[in-house]
Amino acid sequence: MSERDEIAVVGAGLAGCLLACYLARRGYPVALYERRPDPRVGTPERGRSINLALADRGLDALRRIGLEEQVLADALPMRGRMIHPVVGEPQLQPYSASGDLAINSIGRGALNNTLLEAATKLPGVRVAFDHRLVGLDPATGEMTFETPQGTVTAHAQVVLGADGAGSAVRGQLLEHDLLTESADFLDYGYKELTIPPLGGDFALDPGALHIWPRGTSMMIALPNPDRSFTCTLFWPTHGTASFASLGSKAAIERYFAQHYPDVPPLAPTLVDDYQHNPIGLLGTVRCDPWQAGGRVGLLGDAAHAIVPFYGQGANCAFEDVVELDRCLDECADDWSAALPLFQQRRQDNAEAIAQMALTNFVEMRDKVASPVYQTRKKIEHA
Ligand code: FAD
């Protein structure tokens, strides 16, 4: 058994589970605290499946610890984007001239479960589910959790917040005046719909990321291994042509028939999905610094949540884990040096992708449909 002090990782999401794997490989005992019950045994939340486009940046982090193949077993390669106009046939825009380059469609739940499974198999990793962090003393590493059995406390030499965009760890640092934060929400939200298999097969080309660009809004669809597609509407939350504007079954049916005419015949549960699935928020979270006293650190969405339009939030969180591991190497596991170095190396990159993700929303919902854009892409690939 290792003689190192136990590290607390708050949040057994994508970043937290991968981080636990990397830390265990360095010889640290790891306590992974997660507010939810074990996701491997429950039913997923309705309308929150979230398919991710996992790209090479994220795969690199998995490859380094031998998890790439296992993860890709649940993924489907998408070699281009398929643009669905209101009138006419869908057009494929390949991601590369050769058609070889692909990003991979994977359900966030499947990816999370694989990483959680990998973490729990490593010696020294223990997971405490149903533990919601509600208090943290950044000076001592004393943590307070709400659990079904009541409030419990725990202590760690180093506490790492991988608890997502609404990070409680970040909230505690804010409460102790140890950081500043900003959260910029779009006037857009997202809602999921399902296109089930058709006659036992995919209803659309499973080798593409499907986009229905509609100027001020859009829908995308990513394939799943069970031959269904998860569609995500990115629409304004209020005003005309928004989530709020479609109040009745008839209005929903009329709107889709007019603006997404190829979808209703493929989506038998469209109205039910639309009426009952939740609307998710979309925003960019920035904070500074990402650490306090070399004892508490933030990574992944907890440090830098971004809008999903470049498909890079999880990829970026995985890159964080690799960089933190590298910083620990370079600082001989001196956390008070490694955590500031980690922020120095990652913060500009996180800001760059945050801005690119906002810009790409305009590209996806509008520019990809323009004839000028399509001609330019053909020239680039010629
Ligand atoms: P999370 O995955 O949010 O994990 C945080 C974990 O912490 C959760 O398990 C949560 O339950 C737990 N937690 C929260 N609070 C507490 C607490 N108080 N105590 C204990 N535990 C707590 N990224 C991509 O790379 N490609 C994509 O194509 C892509 N598409 C997306 C589409 C949508 C619609 C959305 C919303 C996001 C998308 N993302 C994508 C972004 C991606 O989902 C996130 O960047 C990624 O999940 C961040 O991982 P994380 O581990 O930092 O946070």
- Nearest atom of ligand 1 to the alpha carbon of 39: 9
Residue 153 has pLDDT above 80, yes or no: yes
Indicate the top mutation candidate among 35, 188, 299, 360 to test ligand 1's pocket, ranked by most ligand atoms within 8 A of CB.
35
pLDDT number for residue 39: 94
Task: Quickly state the pLDDT bin for 42 (edges 50, 70, 90).
Answer: confident
Average the pLDDT over 52-76 and give the result: 97
pLDDT number for residue 380: 56
Residue 13, SS3? coil
Average the pLDDT over 44-56 and give the result: 87
- Nearest atom of ligand 1 to the alpha carbon of 134: 18
Average the pLDDT over 288-307 and give the result: 98
Indicate the top mutation candidate among 129, 163, 210, 220 to test ligand 1's pocket, ranked by most ligand atoms within 8 A of CB.
163
Residue 99 has pLDDT above 90, yes or no: no
Q: Give me ligand 1 centre to Cα 86, in Å.
A: 33
Q: Give me ligand 1 centre to Cα 303, in Å.
A: 12
Average the pLDDT over 8-35 and give the result: 98
Say if ligand 1 is within 6 A of residue 34 CB. yes
Portion of the chain with pLDDT greater than 70, in percent: 96
Alpha helix (H) residue ranges in 228-366: 249-259, 270-276, 301-304, 313-330, 335-365
Q: Give me ligand 1 centre to Cα 13, in Å.
A: 6
Average the pLDDT over 91-120 and give the result: 95
pLDDT number for residue 377: 58
User: Which phi and psi (to 5°) does residue 295 adopt?
Assistant: -120, -30
Q: Give me ligand 1 centre to Cα 315, in Å.
A: 11
Q: Give me ligand 1 centre to Cα 50, in Å.
A: 10
Residue 378 has pLDDT above 90, yes or no: no
Task: Quickly state the pLDDT bin for 217 (edges 50, 70, 90).
Answer: very high
Residue 212 has pLDDT above 70, yes or no: yes
Q: What are 187-210's pLDDT values in tens digits? A: 999 999 999 999 999 999 999 999
Indicate the top mutation candidate among 9, 14, 358 to test ligand 1's pocket, ranked by most ligand atoms within 8 A of CB.
14
Rounded-to-10 torsion of CA 312, 318, 324, 329: -130
Task: Quickly state the pLDDT bin for 372 (edges 50, 70, 90).
Answer: low
Q: What are 247-266's pLDDT values in tens digits? A: 899 999 999 999 999 999 99
CA pair distance 64, 44, nearest whole angstrom: 29
Query: Is residue 291 within 8 Å of residue 342, measured between CB atoms?
Result: yes
Q: What are 230-251's pLDDT values in tens digits? A: 999 999 998 888 998 998 999 9
Least confident of 44-58, 94-108, 132-146, 157-171: 44-58
Residue 348 has pLDDT above 60, yes or no: yes
Task: Quickly state the pLDDT bin for 306 (edges 50, 70, 90).
Answer: very high
pLDDT number for residue 381: 54
CA pair distance 21, 40, nearest whole angstrom: 18
Residue 81 has pLDDT above 90, yes or no: yes
Q: Give me ligand 1 centre to Cα 261, in Å.
A: 32
Q: Give me ligand 1 centre to Cα 181, in Å.
A: 18
Q: Give me ligand 1 centre to Cα 270, in Å.
A: 26
Q: Which residue's C-alpha comes closest to atom 3 of ligand 1? A: 164
Say if ligand 1 is within 6 A of residue 141 CB. no
Say if ligand 1 is within 6 A of residue 16 CB. yes
Task: Quickly state the pLDDT bin for 1 (edges 50, 70, 90).
Answer: very low
Q: Give me ligand 1 centre to Cα 115, in Å.
A: 13
pLDDT number for residue 125: 98
- Nearest atom of ligand 1 to the alpha carbon of 17: 51
Residue 88 has pLDDT above 60, yes or no: yes
Say if ligand 1 is within 6 A of residue 107 CB. no
Say if ligand 1 is within 6 A of residue 108 CB. yes
Least confident of 39-43, 104-108, 308-312: 39-43
CA pair distance 247, 230, nearest whole angstrom: 23
Beta strands in the chain (DSSP E): 7-10, 30-33, 51-54, 76-78, 80-83, 91-94, 103-107, 125-128, 132-137, 142-147, 150-155, 158-161, 180-195, 209-213, 218-223, 229-236, 280-288, 291-292, 296-298
Average the pLDDT over 54-62 and give the result: 97
Q: Share the mean pLDDT of the chain.
A: 94
